[in-house]
Amino acid sequence: MKMNENISKEDRKMLNGIFWRSFTVFASRAGATKAHAPGFMYSVAPALNRYYKDDPEGRREAYMRHTTWYNITQNVGTFVMGLVASMEKKNAEEKDFDAESIVALKTSLMGPLSGIGDSIFWGVIRVIAAGVGISLAAQGSVLGPILFLLIYNIPAILTRYYLTYMGFSLGSSFIEKIYANGSMKILNKAASTLGLIMIGSMTASMVKFESKLSVPIAGGKPIEIQTYFDQLFKGLVPLGITLLCYWLLSKKVNVNWILLGVLVFAIIMGLLGVV
Amino acid sequence: MYKEAFLAALTVFICYGGNWLFGQSMIERPLVVGCIAGLIFGDMRTGIIMGASLEAIFMGAVDIGGALSAEPVTATVLATTFSIVLNVNDKAALALAVPIGVLAAFISMFMKNVVMNLFAPLVDKYAKENNPRAIAIMHYSMWFINYFIFSLITFFSVLKGAKPVQQLVNSIPDNLMAGLAATGGLLPAVGFAILMRMLWSKQLAPYFFLGFVLVAYLELPSVAVAVLGIILVLVTSFKDKQLLDIENKQKELEMRPTVSASGAAAGSESEQEEEDFFS
């Protein structure tokens, strides 16, 4: 890789440290206000300890900076960790560096990076891996879970590794550039598009609702309600319910109420003999 | 039942805790959990098959920023335990998995977002004390405490719940059973809605329906949908990039005269450009 060329041995040691520690980034969760701040502090510790070796006051300030809320899809979050390492380095070297900009940049990247990461890892790779895994496991083959883990984890770990290095070597100027020239927008749009296509396809295959209701007709075959639904539009009810859930979420209805609503709805439908 | 309860709780701890200790490596998914639970209870085949069915039900259940629609580990472990150890029939065990998963998600979210708040002041304290060692120890302790307490739920569910569950399953009327099974079919909708919430925009909404129709009517497998999606995204991105380059160049052209000459000259030049454009 080209970006690894001008990285020294110590840099490499530090970045590998961050890479390995980052696996545990979400191991702890310090409530809703700080979320994964401890995991982030633990992950970037190799950088903070290295650059503020002779400056305990600087290191204290650095740790205190990073006690704020942190949450990025973990396989792409290492990009920010590498980036923070490069900025902390600058901060330790230059007296007039604006330390607040480190937290500002970190925070501003959480949304867009998670958007890209969630759609690619949760929306696409996991779904493909699960699709292959389910079809094998349904026949009782142990290859199902094994292939599932391999298909998901190989790209996930490679991404985690290379993004640690990229974040460090590209630095904050690169981020500012891709924000300014609009590349970030294109990247985000591409990931969202792919994610939405996959979610649409999953809605069709995974959300199920079949009515066994039929209307008896004197002297003829009873009318099956489901066939009418299917003729109107295949998967009409699952699609409608998914969109309704989305609409309720966008109206800031708590997700727990929506879940409860769906459960109650399904059970009532069962009791009434609709499903 | 103590042995079974302990083994089931251990499976939850390994799979759920392990998943978050090892980079969300998906060992918390029913496909894997079913296999491991089956292995521990001596019937791997049943475990794997249960895992495959549950994976489809819990497909939409992913932990995104702490919002969780259903917790798959406890659900899979309990369903597999009931099926293998108590000989509850598979259909009933699968139906029970859904309410268990939702209940477990409530508890998990409560633990992570509310109970674990107790540690938030410690994070600030250790940072202020400039003590990375304490931060590391706290980080791992919080992990252990959270998942240890969480796996106790499974322990007591198996220990105290085994008999009632058997009676319950035998006494559930058919239509209630159908309702419970239907919850499994509708549950993914909530998970997908959470995912959509992050990605949705008016311009991109049609792609959601494209994905839906590709599967509902054309019945394409997910790999095919993914490949079509990637092709589509590449084509549109290249076009977007071209547009962007043109836009950036135009901006540059507009910028140049303002930098070199005075404001008046730049004004007349852009007017000139506009005139050219409309002629």
B47-91 pLDDT, tens digit each: 999 999 888 888 777 766 666 778 899 999 999 998 898 888 777
Kindly determine whether residue B135 and residue A42, on different chains, have CB atoms separated by under 8 Å.
yes
Q: Could you give the 3-state DSSP secondary structure of residue B7?
A: helix
Mark which residues 242-261 of B lie under 8 Å from A by CB.
244, 247-248
Per-residue pLDDT band for B258 (boundaries 50, 70, 90) equals low
- Select from A148, A166, A196 the last residue of a domain: A196
Interface check for A114 against chain B (CB to CB < 8 A): the answer is yes
- Is B270 in the same domain as B224? yes
- Is A138 in the same domain as A254? no
pLDDT at A242 over 90: yes
- Is B135 in the same domain as B31? yes
Query: What is the least distance, in Å, from the CA of B158 to any CA of chain A?
Result: 24
Q: Considering the domain boundaries, does residue A116 fall inside one?
A: yes
Query: What is the least distance, in Å, from the CA of A1 to any CA of chain B?
Result: 23
Query: What is the least distance, in Å, from the CA of A245 to any CA of chain B?
Result: 6
Q: Are B153 and B104 in contact (CB under 8 A)?
A: yes
- Select from A196, A221, A238 the last residue of a domain: A196
Q: What's the mean pLDDT in B145-173?
A: 86
pLDDT at B272 over 60: no
Q: Considering the domain boundaries, does residue A162 fall inside one?
A: yes
Instruction: Using alpha carbons, list the distances in angstroms from residue B29 to B37, B87, B96, B218, B245.
Output: 12, 23, 17, 28, 43
Interface check for B110 against chain A (CB to CB < 8 A): the answer is no
Nearest to B20 by CA among A72, A32, A26, A41: A26
- Is B187 in the same domain as B268? no
Nearest Cβ partner of B207 from A30, A157, A196?
A196
- A214, β-bridge pairs: A224
- Select from B200, B218, B239 the last residue of a domain: B200
Instruction: Compute and round to an integer the Cα radius of gyration of chain A.
Output: 25
The single-letter code of the amino acid at A92 is A
For chain B, percent of residues with pLDDT exceeding 90 = 43
Q: How many domains does chain A have?
A: 2
- Is A174 in the same domain as A229? no
Q: Are A35 and A69 in contact (CB under 8 A)?
A: yes
- Is B276 in the same domain as B232? yes
Q: Give contacts of A258 with chain B, Cβ < 8 Å.
A: 190, 193
Interface check for A265 against chain B (CB to CB < 8 A): the answer is yes
- Is B189 in the same domain as B206? no
| Residues in chain A, total | 275
Token duo for residue A196:
């939405």
Kindly determine whether residue B179 and residue A266, on different chains, have CB atoms separated by under 8 Å.
yes
- Is B42 in the same domain as B108? yes
- Is A101 in the same domain as A217? no
Lowest pLDDT segment from A152-161, A178-187, B1-10, B45-54: A178-187
- B223 or B261, which is more confident? B223
- Is B260 in the same domain as B122? no
Per-residue confidence (pLDDT) for residue B259, from 0 to 100: 53
Q: Rounded to 5 degrees, what are φ and ψ at A214?
A: -140, 145
Per-residue confidence (pLDDT) for residue B126, from 0 to 100: 92
Per-residue confidence (pLDDT) for residue B12, from 0 to 100: 94
Per-residue confidence (pLDDT) for residue B279, from 0 to 100: 46
Q: DSSP label at B67?
A: B
Per-residue confidence (pLDDT) for residue A152, from 0 to 100: 95
Kindly determine whether residue B142 and residue A31, on different chains, have CB atoms separated by under 8 Å.
no
Tell me what the pLDDT averaged over chain B comes to. Answer: 85
Interface check for B216 against chain A (CB to CB < 8 A): the answer is yes
- Is A24 in the same domain as A148? yes
Tell me what the pLDDT averaged over chain A comes to. Answer: 88
Closest Cα in chain A to B245: A181
Nearest to A242 by CA among B252, B219, B69, B15: B69
Q: Considering the domain boundaries, does residue A53 fall inside one?
A: yes
- Is A31 in the same domain as A157? yes
Interface check for A203 against chain B (CB to CB < 8 A): the answer is yes
Per-residue confidence (pLDDT) for residue B222, from 0 to 100: 79
Q: Give contacts of A235 with chain B, Cβ < 8 Å.
A: 212, 216
Interface check for B172 against chain A (CB to CB < 8 A): the answer is no
pLDDT at B263 over 70: no
Q: How many domains does chain B have?
A: 2
Per-residue pLDDT band for A218 (boundaries 50, 70, 90) equals confident
pLDDT at B267 over 70: no
Interface check for A45 against chain B (CB to CB < 8 A): the answer is yes
- Is B156 in the same domain as B97? yes
- Is A244 in the same domain as A142? no
Q: Give contacts of A265 with chain B, Cβ < 8 Å.
A: 186
Lowest pLDDT segment from A233-237, A271-275, B215-219, B238-242: A271-275
Q: Considering the domain boundaries, does residue A203 fall inside one?
A: no
Kindly determine whether residue B217 and residue A255, on different chains, have CB atoms separated by under 8 Å.
no
Per-residue confidence (pLDDT) for residue B66, from 0 to 100: 60
Per-residue pLDDT band for A148 (boundaries 50, 70, 90) equals very high
- B40 or A223, which is more confident? B40
Q: What's the mean pLDDT in A91-106?
A: 89
- Is B118 in the same domain as B43? yes
- ipTM tops the 0.85 cut: no
B263: number of Cβ within 10 Å: 8
Nearest to B29 by CA among A24, A259, A121, A126: A126
- Judged on CB neighbours under 10 Å (0-12, 13-18, 19+), A215 is exposed
C-alpha torsion sign, points A224, A230, A235, A241: negative
Query: What is the pTM assigned to this prediction?
Result: 0.81
- Is A10 in the same domain as A121? yes
- Is B249 in the same domain as B208? yes
Q: Could you give the 3-state DSSP secondary structure of residue A35?
A: strand
Kindly determine whether residue A142 and residue B59, on different chains, have CB atoms separated by under 8 Å.
no
Q: Rounded to 5 degrees, what are φ and ψ at B72?
A: -75, -25
The range of the structural domain enclosing residue B210 comes to 201-279
For the stretch B100-152, pLDDT in tens is 888 888 888 888 888 888 888 999 999 999 999 999 999 999 999 999 999 99
- Select from B200, B230, B256 the last residue of a domain: B200
- Is B20 in the same domain as B151? yes
- Is A43 in the same domain as A87? yes
Kindly determine whether residue A64 and residue B99, on different chains, have CB atoms separated by under 8 Å.
no
Per-residue confidence (pLDDT) for residue B264, from 0 to 100: 47
Kindly determine whether residue A202 and residue B230, on different chains, have CB atoms separated by under 8 Å.
no
Closest Cα in chain A to B146: A28
Nearest Cβ partner of A249 from B70, B197, B229?
B197
Instruction: Compute and round to an integer the Cα radius of gyration of chain B.
Output: 27
- Is A114 in the same domain as A173? yes
- Is A28 in the same domain as A51? yes
- Select from B200, B230, B261 the last residue of a domain: B200
Q: What's the distance, CA B87 to chain centroid? A: 30
Which residues, 6+ apart, have CB-to-CB distance to A68 below 8 Å?
Answer: A34, A37, A103, A107
Q: Give contacts of A272 with chain B, Cβ < 8 Å.
A: 175
Q: Considering the domain boundaries, does residue A201 fall inside one?
A: no
- Is B220 in the same domain as B173? no
Query: What is the least distance, in Å, from the CA of A153 to any CA of chain B?
Result: 6
pLDDT at A55 over 80: yes
- Is A213 in the same domain as A185? no
Q: Rounded to 5 degrees, what are φ and ψ at A35?
A: 50, -115
Q: Considering the domain boundaries, does residue A58 fall inside one?
A: yes
Q: Could you give the 3-state DSSP secondary structure of residue A224?
A: strand
Tabulate helix, strand, coil % of chain A (nearest 5): 75, 0, 25
Residue with tokens 């970030």: A184
Q: Considering the domain boundaries, does residue A202 fall inside one?
A: no
User: How many Cβ contacts (< 8 angstroms) between chains A and B?
Assistant: 397
Kindly determine whether residue B211 and residue A249, on different chains, have CB atoms separated by under 8 Å.
no
Q: Give contacts of B146 with chain A, Cβ < 8 Å.
A: 28-29
The range of the structural domain enclosing residue A182 comes to 2-196
Kindly determine whether residue B25 and residue A153, on different chains, have CB atoms separated by under 8 Å.
yes
Q: Considering the domain boundaries, does residue A120 fall inside one?
A: yes
A128: number of Cβ within 10 Å: 20
